[in-house]
Amino acid sequence: MAKMTVEDLPLEGKKVLMRVDFNVPIKDGKVGDDNRIVAALPTIKYVIEHGGKAILFSHLGRVKKEEDKPGLSMKPVAARLSNLLNKPVTFVPVTEGKQLEDAINQMNNGDVLMVQNTRYEDVKDGKYVKRESGNDPELGKYWASLGDVYVNDAFGTAHRNHASNVGIAQNIGAGKSAVGFLMEKEIKFLGNAVDNPERPFVAILGGAKVSDKIGVIDHLLGKADKIIIGGGMAYTFMAAQGKKIGNSLVEPDKEDVAKEIMEKAGDKLVLPVDNVEADAFKNDANTKVVEGGIDDGWEGLDIGPKSIAKFEDVLKDAKTVVWNGPMGVFEMPNFAKGTLAIGKFLGSLTNATTIVGGGDSTAAAKQLGIADKLTHISTGGGASLTYLEGKTLPGIAAISEK
C-alpha cells in the first residue's frame, strides 16, 4: 500500500489527531452496539502505547438543527471507550475554542481525549451551515492546528469530503498523515480483491435498486469472472428481458441500462432462475416459488431454491468473493432464506478470500455466526461501494504517500 500507516509516524510525545468512526446507536444515554468502537481499539492502543496523546474526532448521526445536538453528544461514547480501554477518557463537550485547547495542552503521553461530535459544527447560531460536512477550509485548518500528526482510521466516512478527514489531512503538513490499522486492512482486502484478485473472482450484488449499483456492476464487469445479481434489482433485469414481474420492485427508467449491461456482460452475469413471490409485502403473506416470471398481483421478495443452487454452483470454485447486498427482503424472516443460504455457503468456502460489505450482508453474516469464517467484513457500506466502483475515496486520497 502506498499510503503512510500509523507505524510510519513519530508518536512519542506527539499530539495525535485521530479520525475514528464512532457513529454508533445511542439509547437512553448508553451505547447500543459498540462494534465500531472495538474496531478502532488496535490503532488507539498502538498510539498511546507508543507515547502519543490520542485526540479523537468522530461524527454521530446527522445534526441539522440545534435541537438535534443534545441527543447526539459523544459523551456516552467516551464513557464506553473508557470501559473498553480500562483507562480514563477525557470528554470535551465542544468542537473548538479555549476549553478544547486547554484540555489538549494538559494531556500527558498516553492520554486519550474525545472531542464533541464533529457535526455540531454543521449548525451555528441556529443555521444549518455544514462546516464539517462541507469541509469548511477554516475548520480543517483549525483542527489541524491542534495536533502534530494525523491518523485516519474511519473507513466508514472515507467516501466523504469532510473537514475532520480531508480537511485535517490537507492542513497537517506533508508526511504527517497516515491511515490506522482498520483503514489499512480495508484498503488491503478491498483493493486486492478488485485490482489483484485470485481467480475465479465472483461478485455477489443484491439490494433494492439497480441505480445504486450501476457504477459497481460496470466497473466489476472488467474485473470479475462472474457477477451474481439478486435482491430487488433483479426484477429490473427480468423486466428488461421482457418477463412478467407482477407488483415487484422495478425501476422502469433503468430497464435500458439493464439491457445494455446484459448485452455487455454475456454469460458473466448470473441472474435468478426462480423466485419466492408473495401476495402482499408482509412476512405472513401467502407465498409460492415460481420460475420464468412473477404472477400478476404478486411480488417477488426472495430468490428461490433453484437460484440458490445455481449461485452456489458458481461460487463453489471461487477463490475471491465480494458480497454486497441481500438476495431478498432480509428484514422479514420468511424472505431472508436466500440471503442466509448464500451467507452460509460463503462461510463454508475454506480456500477463498471472502469479503462482505454492506449493512444487510454484514447482518446476515453475524446472524449466521459465520463472521469469523469470512476473510473480511467491511466497516463501511457507502465507502466499500465507492471503492468497488473504482472511484477515489477523498478520505484516503488526502493521506500522505509513503
Residues near 104 by beta carbon (within 8 Å), at least 6 away in sequence: 15, 53, 55, 113, 146, 147
Q: Which residues of the chain have pLDDT under 70?
A: 1, 358-359
Residue 359: the pLDDT is: 67
d(CA 124, CA 325): 37
Does residue 206 contact residue 325 with C-beta atoms inside 8 Å? yes
**Can you list the domains of the chain with their CATH numbers?**
6-182 (3.40.50.1260), 197-388 (3.40.50.1260)
**Any known ligand binding at 50?**
no
Q: State residue 1's pLDDT score.
A: 54
Q: Is 195 annotated as a binding residue?
A: no
19 carries a ligand binding annotation: no
CB 151 within 8 A of CB 47: yes
pTM: 0.86
Beta-ladder partners of 152: 19, 179
Taking CA atoms, 138 is separated from 56, 131, 145, 166, 399, in Å, by 19, 9, 11, 12, 19
pLDDT tens digit sequence for 218-239: 999 999 999 999 999 999 999 9
Active site residues: 36, 209, 359, 382
Quote the DSSP letter at residue 167.
I
Please give the pLDDT value at position 364: 79
359 is in an annotated binding site: yes
Q: Which helix (H) or strand (E) holds 56?
A: strand 53-57
Confidence at residue 369, expressed as pLDDT on a 0 to 100 scale: 82
| 17 φ, ψ (degrees, to nearest 5) | -80, 130
